[in-house]
Structure 1
Amino acid sequence: MNRICTICARGGSKGVKNKNLRELLGKPLIAHSILQAKKSGLFDVIAVSSDDEQILQVSLDYGVDYIIKRPEELASDIAPKLPAIQHCVMQVEKLKNIEFDIIVDIDATSPLRTIEDLKNSIEMFESHKDAKNLITATPSRRSPYFNLIEEKQDGYVTLSKPLKNNIVRRQDVPNSYDMNASIYIWRREEFFNANSVFTNRTILYVMPEERSFDIDSELDFEIVKMLAEKRGTLE
């Protein structure tokens, strides 16, 4: 069973300028995900997709197998990520004349995952023969049944998921999770037909909160930097 690891990294970022090249523990942010994938020994091919030439060059410097220039229409602020991953895999398959059985995407802006997270999530997915894909998340800090609220059109607020029954203990409601954008896994037959990361057979790999920060703001970056420095290494 052969596997490809994709890492998709746009050049533009409004929340954190040039975040994929921002230095973290002495390396560009994207380098940590590349080195995790390489050191895991799990992948036949590692590929980076980007619209930015500097990101592509840095990726080559850190040893990826393929760099794929992302088309402009897949690199805008409003472009969804899944088509960019599909484009990357298709281009590598053409270049290498191969079809991959398992597609794994890891996010460059979620570098706190560990190599064990990669190994365990892939093992979990491949052992679930009926699963179409896997996503990662962490237990939510706010429950939609108790303290996550949303604003209605009339300006008033309500619980996101109000309960019909009089349940007063958080332990009695379904578990809820925050997606952490760290690892996505698909089987080939589902991957190229997918238009969402959710299917009728999506499974979940749960990660702790301290490995689940996704960098979308300067505050996120500072939190990730603090946790990375505490660990001392991200590979």
Structure 2
Amino acid sequence: MKRLCTICARSGSKGVMNKNLRQLAGKPLLAYSILQAKISKLFQTIAVSSDSAEILNIANAWGADYLIQRPPHLATDHAPKIPVIQHVLHTVETSFQQHFDVIVDLDVTSPLRYASDIKDVVSLLETKQVSNVITGTPARRSPYFNLVEVNHEGIVQLSKPLPKPVFCRQDAPKSYDLNASIYAWQREALLKHPTIFNQDTRLYIMPEERSIDIDSELDFQFVEFLMDKRREKRNEDLL
């Protein structure tokens, strides 16, 4: 079983300036995903894709196996991520003249995952033989109970009302926030059905404290606080 880890790190950021390069608890944000992939010992190749030479230099310094200069059309603000991952796969397979069976993408902006989370996601993908696995955490708001929308007339209503109303959150169907941490595919599923939602997609549930996706300065501060707490435990899996 050959496994490829992809890490996609575009330059620039609207929410947090140059966040992929920014120091987080003594390391560049990018370094955490590379180190977690290496600690998991799952991958034949860890490939980093970026439109930034500086990011690629940092990736090389922290142990990435393969560096890919991302084409401009895949590095815009509106470029979807799955074509970038496909580009990484094609580039690495062409270079190594071999196919990978499993592709796992680690999002740079979700550094609180454990290496053991990556192992568990891959185990779920391979033991269940499903197309793909995505990660999430129990949602703070429920579309059946306290998540609302405002219609074109300015009227507030539940996002997803049920035929029989529920009066406490515990009685509502379980809902999850996608935490943008780990995405895993079987090779053919990624190439033939480039989506995160397939008929057999599975969800790996992570706790909230490992599910913060850095999209703002406040997110960065929360993650930095949690990272500092981890360092006190001196556990390799926690980095």
Match of 1:71 in 2: 71
Percent of paired sites with the same residue: 56
Distance in structure 2 (CA, Å) of the matches to 1:79 and 1:86: 13
- Which amino acid letter does the alignment assign opposite residue 183 of structure 1? I
For 2:137, give the aligned amino acid. T
2:195 aligned residue: 196
Distance 1:132 1:173 in 2: 28
User: What stretches of structure 1 of length at least 5 have no aligned partner?
Assistant: none
What stretches of structure 1 move > 4 A for 4+ residues in a row? none
CA contact (8 A) 2:145 2:168 kept: no
Q: State the AA in 2 paired with 1:157.
A: V
* Partners of 2:193 and 2:212 in 1: CA distance: 26
5+ long unaligned stretches in structure 2? none
Taking structure 2 as the reference length, the TM-score comes to 0.95
1:14 aligned onto 2:14: yes
Which amino acid is 2:159 matched to? Answer: S
Mapped to 2, the partners of 1:157 and 1:74 lie a distance apart of: 38
Number of aligned residues:
234
Distance (Å, rounded) in 1 between the aligned partners of 2:227 and 2:30: 14
TM-score by length of 1: 0.97
1:78-134 Cα offsets, whole Å, 9 max, x none, are: 1111110110111000111110000000011100000111111111111102x1100
Contact persistence 2:145–2:172 (CA under 8 A): no
Match of 2:209 in 1: 210
User: What does the per-residue CA deviation read over 1:152-200, in whole Å, with 9 as the maximum and x for residues that have no partner?
Assistant: 1222221100111133343333210000000000001101122321111
Q: Which amino acid aligns with 2:99?
A: E
Map of 1:135-174 to 2, 5 A cutoff? 135-174=134-173
1:227 paired residue number: 226
Is the CA contact (8 Å cut-off) linking 2:145 and 2:166 kept in structure 1? no
Distance 1:166 1:228 in 2: 41
Matches within 5 A, 1:30-41: 30-41=30-41
Alignment-derived partner of residue 114 in structure 1 = 114
